[in-house]
Structure 1
Amino acid sequence: MAMDLEGAERLLLSLELFGMRFGLDRMRRMLTALGSPQERFGAVHVVGTNGKSSTVRMTAAILRRHGLRTGAYLSPHLVTFAERVRVDDADVTGAEFAAAVARAADAAAKVDRTLEEGDRVTQFELLTAAAFDHFARAGVDVAVVEAGLGGRWDATNVLDRSRVQVLTNVGLEHTRWLGPTIADIAGEKLAVVRDGATLVVGAGLAPEAAALAQETARERHARLVVAPGEPALPPPALELVARGAFQRRNFALAVEAARAQLGCDPDEEAVRAAAASTLVPGRFEVVGQDPETVIDGAHNPGGLTALTEALPDFVGGRPLVACVAVLEDKDATAMLRILLPLCDAVVLTRAGTPRALSPATLASLCHQLGFAGAVEVVGEPHDALRRAQALAGPGGVALATGSIYLIADLMRPAGRARSTL
């Protein structure tokens, strides 16, 4: 079927109605219909609670600078679905993305006809198949692939040629689907580890997750690599364009993932070049001055902890006003408890999704937590950020955080319809 970018996004949005369905059978059938594209490139498979997108971008950047043609598959996106599929150092074009979605949609239609009534290919499955098909056609040597949710039953867990798997970290998330404990969640994520592969894990892994990683590596005869908390390079100190100590941890993880994929020590100059040029949109990104304005898609307690570790040095004693939105399935109380001590005032808003907590609820939580600064409610995200900027003043810092949906709202051009995350 012929399709442009608008049509591709319209099709993907229509699949949002059918929600999530776990299992790999639909995905494997669709890939078979596409000619098994996932068998035509190597893969680094990245799972974890936080830091996946950054680690994917950084790993792909390092590998590209070693002469490999690289793909990167990411989620979520901020403005357009096409951001999720990258080759070398650029998002695919709208025409390329639409063509890949059209081919995947044709394959999905064939699969749907074989399924029981009420079952069908999901949005994420179609997206993933489209990405893999495009990577194969583009001739990538290796794709760095971010899992969507968990690992065991995630649509990305069909990468049988993957020789490197990466676990960034493990926190309590999606407990309805992944289980109630850190160990349960780690087990779902570590299910992607292949026999004889290399498992690279991030620094500071929770003890129960670290123990399970060791056990998994032993059972699957995989080599276990624990990344350092800081990139291990000789002086001078590595300069990273991505801000924050958490990004240095992510980059250290990316270096080890690249080392495992390459099978040798990465070239120092290639690593430095990747560090100096790899931006991560929506992650501690400075988007304005007077006041200095930062957007960060931290959306759970772990993400907020990483962000607040980086804020004091950046803020440097200036007034800090946060524009905050949180989704209803997140631990808003824990997130605010982490963020509020650094803030002089907060402006609470609602991200553009039915899953958003009401700003009034967030305001109530701020008062319950004893926050002494000003608390304001502004319903529209752009207006809320402008209010935060006004409260911070020209010499202060305005921060938008709490939900990737909020960041998407703020980055989307005025008048552009929402493209689901």
Structure 2
Amino acid sequence: MMFETSLDDWDYGRALAELWRRSKYERGFISDPFGGPQRAEQGLHRMRALLAGLGDPHLRVPTVHIAGSKGKGSTGAFIATVASQAGHRVGFYTSPHLHRFPERIAINGLPLTDDAFASEARLVGLVADRLDASSSDEAQVTTFEFITAMACAAFARDACDLAVIEVGLGGRYDSTNVVAPIVSVITRIDLEHTGVLGFTYGEIAAQKAGILRAGVPCVSSPQVSEADEVITETAIEIGSPLQMGGRDWNWTGSWRSFTATGPWGDWRDLALGLPGPHQVENACTALAALHFVNASGLTIPEPAARSGLSGTLWPGRFEQTMVDDRVLILDAAHTPAAAAALVSTWRELGISSPATVILGMSADKDPKAFLEALRPLIGHLIATRADSPRAAETEAIFAIASEMGIPSDMQPSVAGAVGTALKSGDAPILVTGSLFVVGEGREAIGLADPDPLWRALNDVNRARPQRCDRP
């Protein structure tokens, strides 16, 4: 049933209700690759129509478009922070959020206010309702399309100098793949979302490389050979000048002090605010992209790059805190490669192990492969789940861990798992496996407050028979 949209009845709660009602999983929370290429193309056509009704805001702000399996958010955060340090007004669109929807749309590091969020939702809602009126239920504007349009409109309305737009899933058929980038970025590719994107590195790379544009430079993090080959061939075929990490630019050192060498020169003694060897790769990917941003006319001086890299903060990415004299780490790793990077960072920082690990994952992930990569850190596992219909069942994670011989318990909620962990021993605690789990972990220890309006929508709709997705 369609809402009657007016200009005077929108507030933050109304905006959330609109996002919720459009979030049916069977339509997809991106431009519906689940229905195959034809439906995905229809989704992109719908996205263009939605933006056209708003005056094509996505074409009014120079854009960095970022795809990849891991490191998209950190790389985007580095780019946005450095460009902001250089004196530019920067919009950053990322997904999902840790605690509240407005986090997805930030300008110079600040999420939209609730009023601004509601205002953008109202204007997008007017256009979306007009499109929906002439469409079947399966072809109506989805949540991800809706909020992507909100981000594009907000950045144009605020006269941003640069937009950093993160792909939701894949690339070729993602709702964001309607922008006109000044540089395309592909971070490290891993085997993820295989049911949608493909079962090999090459198949997944082909989807990510779908964001490349003729005549628009592309930057890629170092890739396994199969993915490297696909990205390189696609760039040549399309005519997108490619800068590949490990080949055209490189680095030496650690996140505490490293040298980055590439077309920007030889920058020494760089340091990061985000710990971990994998973050050096993400930072250098960001520098490679910023080189092209600078070439486009948005000046990025070296001092801004240095201060931006060292000042970048990205909650939930190897975030360390102390709770009741216990070391507690929150990390949103959700692939085996990300788990391996987490282990490497843990060891580099000299944190004691084994740890009490609180693990919850999305249903489309591979808990066994993740646990195998994380196993060097695990002393005891507490299986749990986020408050999301997309979450894997706690019992499934517990069963896999038990089969692997990992001492395990279960808790039905992340807050319950954190409470149990804090009462047992003195080992460090790790909360990981999903951004949603990390978000609830942060809320459980008082680092952030949950969104009561979104939680109420979850509670009200949980009893309904339709299958809904937390977008």
TM-score bin, normalised by smaller chain: over 0.9
- Distance in structure 2 (CA, Å) of the matches to 1:335 and 1:272: 34
Cα distance in 1 for partners of 2:390, 2:378 equals: 25
Structure 1 60/408 Cα, relative in aligned 2: closer, same or farther at 3 Å? same
1:285 CA drift (Å): 0.9
Tell me, yes or no, if the aligned pair for 1:298 and 1:401 is still in contact at 8 Å.
yes
Equivalent-residue separation in structure 1 for 2:186 and 2:136 (angstroms): 35
Runs of 4+ residues over 4 Å off in structure 1? 233-236
Partner of 1:169: 188
Do residues 397 (structure 1) and 428 (structure 2) align? Answer: yes
- Whether 1:409 aligns to 2:440 is yes
Would you say the 8 A contact 2:82–2:304 is kept in 1? yes
The number of residue pairs the alignment matches comes to 415
> Does 2:116 correspond to 1:102?
no
8 Å contact 1:56–1:254 — kept in the other structure? Answer: yes
The Cα offsets for residues 222-255 of structure 1, whole Å up to 9 and x where unpaired, read as 2111233556346863221112111221111111
Question: Unpaired segments of 5 or more residues in structure 1?
Answer: none
2:54 counterpart residue number: 34
Q: Which moved more, 1:356-365 or 1:205-214?
A: 356-365
Does 255-264 or 77-86 show the bigger shift?
255-264
**In the TM superposition, what is the alpha-carbon distance from 1:70 to its structure 2 partner?**
1.0
1:355 pairs with 381, 387, 390, which one?
390
3-state SS of paired residue (1:191):
helix
Contact 2:259 2:267 in 1 (8 A): no
Superposition deviation, residue 87 in structure 1: 0.9
Contact 1:291 1:392 in 2 (8 A): no
- The answer as to 2:269 corresponding to 1:251 is no
Which residue pairs with 1:82 in the alignment?
A: 102
Give CA-to-partner distance per residue, 1:157-210, whole Å, 9 cap, x none: 1112x120000021222222222221111111101101111110012x011110
SS in 2 for 1:232: strand
What letter matches 1:351 in structure 2?
Answer: A
CA distance, structure 1, for counterparts of residue 172 and residue 421 of structure 2: 41
CA–CA distance in structure 2, aligned partners of residues 387 and 296 of structure 1: 19
Instruction: Check conservation: 2:371, 2:401, Cα contact below 8 A.
Output: yes
Quick one: structure 1 residues 135 and 382, their matched pair in 2 at CA, closer, same or farther if it must change by over 3 Å? same
Give the Cα–Cα distance (whole angstroms) in 1 for the partners of residues 139 and 11 of structure 2. Answer: 27
What's the counterpart of residue 346 of structure 1?
381
1:56 counterpart residue number: 76
Q: Which residue of 1 aligns with 2:255?
A: none
Counterparts of 1:319 and 1:153, CA distance in 2: 42
Contact 2:354 2:377 (C-alpha < 8 Å) held by counterparts? no
For residues 414 and 182 of structure 1, do their structure 2 counterparts lie closer, same or farther at Cα, with a shift above 3 Å needed?
closer
Aligned positions of 1:227-242 closer than 5 A:
227=245, 228-229=250-251, 232-233=259-260, 237-242=269-274
- Taking only aligned residues, the RMSD between alpha carbons, in angstroms, comes to 2.0
Which residue identity does 2:18 align to in structure 1? L
1:260 aligns with 2:267: no
Equivalent position SS for 2:269: coil
Cα deviation for residue 95 of structure 1 reads 1.1
* Whole-Å separation in 2 of the counterparts to 1:365 and 1:62: 42
Aligned-pair identity in percent equals 31
Q: What secondary structure, in the 3-state scheme, does the structure 2 residue paired with 1:237 have?
A: strand
Check if 1:202 corresponds to 2:196.
Answer: no
Residue of structure 2 in register with 1:272 after alignment: 306
Distance 1:366 1:36, change over 3 A: same
Q: Once the 2 structures are TM-superposed, how far is the Cα of residue 319 of structure 1 from its aligned partner?
A: 4.4
Deviation, structure 1 residue 266 = 4.3
Between the aligned partners of 1:117 and 1:54, the Cα distance in structure 2 is 36
**Partners of 2:350 and 2:295 in 1: CA distance:** 41
Distance 2:19 2:128 in 1: 12
Q: Is the 8 A contact 1:389 1:397 kept in 2?
A: no
Greater Cα shift, 43-52 or 222-231: 222-231
Contact 1:326 1:403 in 2 (8 A): yes
| 2:237 corresponds to 1:214 | no
Tell me the alpha carbon deviations over residues 377-404 of structure 1, each in whole angstroms, 9 at most, x when there is no partner: 22221121122233351xx311100112
Shifted more, 303-312 versus 50-59: the winner is: 303-312
| Residue 414 of structure 1: how far off its partner (Å) | 5.8
1:266–1:361 distance in 2 versus 1, CA, 3 Å: same
2:164 corresponds to which letter in structure 1? Answer: V
Moved more, 18-27 or 99-108: 18-27
Aligned match of 2:64: 44
Between the aligned partners of 2:91 and 2:137, the Cα distance in structure 1 is 35
Residue equivalent to 1:376: 409
CA shift, 1:126, in A, is 0.5
TM-score by length of 1: 0.93
- Equivalent residue letter for 1:185: I
**Corresponding residue number in structure 2 for 1:138:** 158
Using a 3 Å threshold, how does the CA distance of structure 1 residues 392 and 51 change in structure 2: closer, same or farther? farther
Q: Deviation at 1:109?
A: 0.9
1:179 and 2:198 matched: yes
Greater mean deviation of Cα atoms: 98-107 or 296-305: 296-305
Aligned to 2:316: 282
Q: Deviations over 1:121-159 (max 9, x none)?
A: 000001000100011000011101000111111110111
Code of the aligned partner of 1:225: Q
The one-letter amino acid of 2:22's match is L
Runs of 5+ consecutive residues of structure 2 not aligned to the other structure: 1-6, 33-39, 253-257, 261-265, 444-448, 459-469
Q: What SS class does the counterpart of residue 360 from structure 1 fall into?
A: helix
Aligned runs of 1:183-194 on 2, under 5 Å? 183-194=202-213
Q: Is the 8 A contact 2:354 2:376 kept in 1?
A: no
- Rate the CA distance shift 1:338–1:38 in 2: closer, same or farther, 3 A: same
- CA apart distance, 1:90: 1.3
Aligned position for 2:446: none
